[in-house]
Amino acid sequence: MKIRAGYEISYECPQPTPMMLMLSVHPSRIPDLLTPDRMRLVPAIPANFYRDGFGNTCHVIHAPAGRLTVSADFLIRDSGAPDEMAPDAEQHALEKLPVETLVYLLASRYCETDRFATIAWSQFGKVQRGWPMVQAICDYVHGHIKFGYEHASPTKTAWEAHAERRGVCRDFAHLAITLCRCMNVPARYCTGYLGDIGVPIDDSPMDFSAWFEVYLGGRWYALDARHNKPRIGRILMARGRDATDVAIVTSFGSCTLAGFKVITDEVRSAAPTSGESRP
């Protein structure tokens, strides 16, 4: 299938403001692009490109005073397959994990494993290790937190989301990641696009989405504690320890969000007209 994706984000800056942007499609999805994922800046200003320590594509800019608009609009190919499930995927012993996965067992800014250790082991200590335990964690988080955009907070941690029992997709991901790490399963935070493909259309404005990945059976798998079922059409932008590592915009100075629009739609083929046949 083809998916049209993109964004238009505007900021009002009272003074020149340095910014880091993490809005590009992840390098692993670049071969799937049908049109370029080209960032446009209005006014036109230079943007320095780099890859961060997690392999994400980043840009650094110096926004001028006034309004800055950042946008992109592209087409990408997707398999159309739902998230892969692997009920038999095994959990690795710590000493057998690849060293690059070990950082995803540690506490991070929004994932306080030290505070959750007792809760995690009392809740999941007797569950079969591997995929069944990770699914049990997703079930727990899905049932524990109530979703609502009005519950969004840029500083909310997994511990706070667990106590408040409400949040947005990033809070579901942070809590699931924290519980997985407590149970010795490497888990990392993901952000990107997830449209209403193969599910009823949500009338709420489209936004970027957050989910997480776990390392089981020798590879990484995507899971989503908010929806708690396989979804179609995820477009990864960035991965990291938690939302700190993958913020779409980090500004080093005061600025105000003045406009925000995200597009993620399946591009359906036009129905053939009379006398035409579909290939």
Query: 170 pLDDT band (50/70/90 cuts)?
Result: very high
- Tokens coding 108: 């991070």
- Which of the four pLDDT bands, split at 50, 70 and 90, describes residue 271? low
Q: Helices marked H in the chain — which ranges?
A: 113-124, 131-144, 158-164, 169-182
As a whole number, the mean pLDDT across the chain is 95
How many whole angstroms separate alpha carbon 3 and alpha carbon 35? 11
* Rounded average pLDDT over 178-196: 98
| Residue 268 pLDDT class (50, 70, 90 cuts) | confident
Over the stretch 84-122, which tens digit does the pLDDT of each residue have? 999 999 999 999 999 999 999 999 999 999 999 999 999
Give the mean pLDDT of 249-272.
Answer: 89
- Distance between CA 52 and CA 59 in Å, rounded? 10
State the pLDDT at residue 278.
Answer: 34
Q: What is the pLDDT of residues 125-152, one digit of tens each?
A: 999 999 999 999 999 999 999 999 999 9
- The predicted structure's pLDDT at residue 277: 32
What single-letter amino acid sits at 167?
G
42 vs 127: CA distance, rounded Å = 53
Q: Which of 146-150, 218-222, 274-278 has the lowest mean pLDDT?
A: 274-278
CATH of region 94-245, choose from 2.60.40.640, 2.20.25.90, 3.40.190.10, 3.10.620.30: 3.10.620.30
Q: Where are the domains of the chain?
A: 2-79+248-267, 94-245
Top CATH class of 2-79+248-267 equals mainly beta
Quick one: average pLDDT of 216-239? 97
pTM of this structure:
0.94
